[in-house]
Structure formats: structure tokens, C-alpha cells
Amino acid sequence: MAGNTILVIDTDAASRNFIGAVLQKEGYQILQAASGKEGLIVAWRDRPDLIIIDPMVPDLKGEDFAMRLRQDARTARTSLIALSSDPQPARVRSCMDAGFNEYLVKTAQAMPALAEAVNRLLGNKAAAKKIGGFLIVFLSAKGGTGTSSLCANIATNIVQAKPEAHIAVVDMVLPIGSIADIVGYQGDQNLITVAEMPPNTITSEFFRDHLTEMDNWHFHLLAGSPDPEKGNRLNVGSINAIVNALKTAYDYVLIDLGRSLSRISLPLIENADLITLIVSTDLSTISLTKTVWQYLQSKGVEPSRVYAILNRAVGLEGLSKVEAEKIIGMEIKISMPYLGSNFALADNQHIPFSQKFPKDTAVIVFKDIAQQMAEMARRLRAQ
């Protein structure tokens, strides 16, 4: 939290002073060191809460610095960020394997990304979330609940509710994505290819210039993994850079996580402005949702940040909204009517539901959801 101590290690005094001044405005206390060896002495003596180091310091390789830090009980759990001039993916992986929590490249986007990472790692999640566009994640406890279809259709309705806003949708369902098939995307760019790019090229300018805008849907898409083999090779170290750059480039970033709770998805869930939890009506899914919700609560997720949707994806049978709420122990904001085969038909034709079936009562529900979610994200950000 603000008031914590941060150690900045860099051979360049101007760079140290600039970084320190930016973080002091956030309320942090700043220590400085001009070399890796001096940084170790200060770290072991003064026990800072977080350390920022340029791993290119000449006297001690960044990876060696991290390993020595982790091997000492005094600093084994200290958060460590690399702010480097080396954008090579091999160096990023090497530093992350050695014990760094984050690897950022010195670019024009570095300081907003650094401030976000510092706030997040030190537990100042409110400050971290207030940087950039609104982040809304979609997840479910079990497959087959229609999470990806709802994500895409709600994104389109947010565009309609907020025509001045720029919106990006990101498919992070692993090991294989699903939104590309729903919206009809056939390009080669996807989460895997972007994550493999040199870190200094993953910028807001890149996404504004190269992210495909989907006809009919009117949002920009970063497609998911095209096959399981590639999904298993995802460069996880680039996820934070991708999300931070997207938040800088777009007013709303919607991420489809599917039914994933992992070291990749959990930080995104914890730092989202709004969490959209999709619930089906069958007892097994509702029971699993209760377990997921209890886990999220244990990680500090507050009920006010969750927008739960009861989706009758498989038919009219199943538990009611009231019964589901009682089992899960949380409020369900809205229920989707059963759409029968119409939802699948719209998906198969790559057309938003509201465009394919404009007179269906579900169109009104989609509009209500989009307006409510946009307003909730804005209100939560303002708190």
C-alpha cells in the first residue's frame, strides 16, 4: 500500500531520480542504489517492500541479483521488478525464471505500466485499477455455460450504449480460444503471437494500429489460441504488458477467461474493475460456482465487484434464480431467458444476437446488462 518503501537500482542517476519522483507522488518512500552489489546491501539492511532494478547493471547480472535476493530469508519474498533496456524474449524468460515478479521494458509506456505493477504487487489494488480503461473479466465455474457468447454479445451492446468508447475483447480461454469462431475472425494475429513479440513492441500504439475491428460486432478483437499445442506454449510473462497496453489504448477491455482459475487468470480477476460470473441452472454448475465464489472471497474479491448472470444455456429446466442465489451465497444480478437454438444460430453465422433477432425479448436484456455493467464499472472506479 502507499507508504511502503521501494528501492530503485540503476547506474543512471537521472533515471533513478525520475522513477523515484513518479513513485513518491503515489505516496511511496524511495531508496536508491547505483549498482547491483550496493542494491543487495541496501535491500538486506533496510528491507524495502519492493525493488526495481535495471538487470543490465554492469557489476551484477540481473538474474544473479534475483537469485541472491531469493536465497536470503530477509528478502526471499520481496517483490522484484525488472525495468530493462533489453527487450529480448530470452532475457525476459531468464529473469522471470530467476525470481523476478515483473519484467518491463524502458519505453514510452513503461511508467504507467510500472506504476500499475507497483500498486498491484504492494496490494494497492484500488490505485492499480484506476489506471487506463475499464477491465471487465468473464468467467464461469464450468464449461458449456455460454461465457464466450455472452462476452462477445455484451461487448457489442456496450458499444451501442457507449458509442463514443473504444472497446477491445481478449480471448484468454486456454488451451484453445472460442471467440474467433463466434465473431468470424480468420486472421493470424492472436494472444499467442502477440505474447511472443519483443516486450518493447507490445504498446498501446501497436494495439490501436493492428488490432482487428470486427464487422457487425464493432469491437476490436485479440483472438485466443488457435490450437491446444500453441496454447500450452503461451509466454505468460507478457500477459501483464498486453493487458496494460490494451487498457491504455481502449476505454473498455473485456477478457474472456472461460472456466480458468490459474496463476494467469487470478491476477486479472483480482485487479478487474468488474467480474462477470456466468452461472448455469443445473445443480452441478451451481455447486461448482459456490466453490469458486468462496475461493474468490478468500482472495479478497468483494461482492460489489461481481456481476453474476444466470444463463439458461441448456434449456428451461434447472434451478431458479432464487434457488441458485441461496446455494451460491451471492446475488445474481440478472437472468437470461432461454434462447433455444437461436443463440447457436447467431453464433454459427457470426452475427450478434441483437442483429440476428432484433425483436427477441433477450435483446432488451442484453441492453440492460451492458448499461448496468458500464455504470457499475464507472461507479466502482470512482470509489
Over residues 257-269, the pLDDT tens digits come to 998 788 788 889 9
Tell which wins on pLDDT, 293 or 233.
Answer: 293
Q: What is the mean pLDDT of residues 23-39?
A: 93
In this predicted structure, the answer to whether residue 1 has a pLDDT above a threshold of 50 is no
CA distance readout (Å), 103 to 92, 120, 364: 6, 14, 44
Q: pLDDT band at 318, cuts 50/70/90?
A: confident
Q: What is the mean pLDDT of residues 211-229?
A: 95
β-pair partners for 52: 8, 81
Residue 126, pLDDT score: 55
Q: What is the mean pLDDT of residues 301-322?
A: 87
Q: pLDDT band at 81, cuts 50/70/90?
A: very high
Considering 129, 149, 170, which residue would you say is the last residue of a domain?
A: 129
Predicted confidence (pLDDT) per residue in 40-60, tens digit: 999 999 999 999 999 999 999
- The whole domain housing 115 covers 5-129
Q: For residue 277, which phi and psi values (nearest 5 degrees)?
A: -105, 115
Does residue 99 sit in the same domain as residue 150?
Answer: no
Does residue 124 sit in the same domain as residue 143?
Answer: no
Q: Are 265 and 172 contacting, i.e. CB atoms less than 8 angstroms apart?
A: yes
Q: What is the mean pLDDT of residues 150-155?
A: 98
Q: pLDDT band at 80, cuts 50/70/90?
A: very high
Considering 68, 96, 129, which residue would you say is the last residue of a domain?
A: 129
CATH classification at residue 38: 3.40.50.2300
Residue 240, pLDDT score: 82
**How many CB atoms sit inside 10 A of residue 27's CB?**
12
Does residue 119 sit in the same domain as residue 148?
Answer: no
Residue 338, pLDDT score: 86
Return the minimum-mean-pLDDT range out of 116-120, 212-216, 282-286.
116-120
Long-range contacts of range 322-328, CB-CB < 8 Å, 24 or more positions apart?
324/279, 324/281, 324/286, 324/289, 327/286, 327/287, 327/290, 328/279, 328/286, 328/289, 328/290, 328/293
Q: Which helix (H) or strand (E) holds 200?
A: none
Residue 264, pLDDT score: 81
Does residue 185 sit in the same domain as residue 108?
Answer: no
Residue 279, pLDDT score: 95
Residue 336, pLDDT score: 93
Tell which wins on pLDDT, 313 or 106.
Answer: 106
Tell which wins on pLDDT, 76 or 1.
Answer: 76
Does residue 356 sit in the same domain as residue 373?
Answer: yes
Q: What is the mean pLDDT of residues 250-255?
A: 97
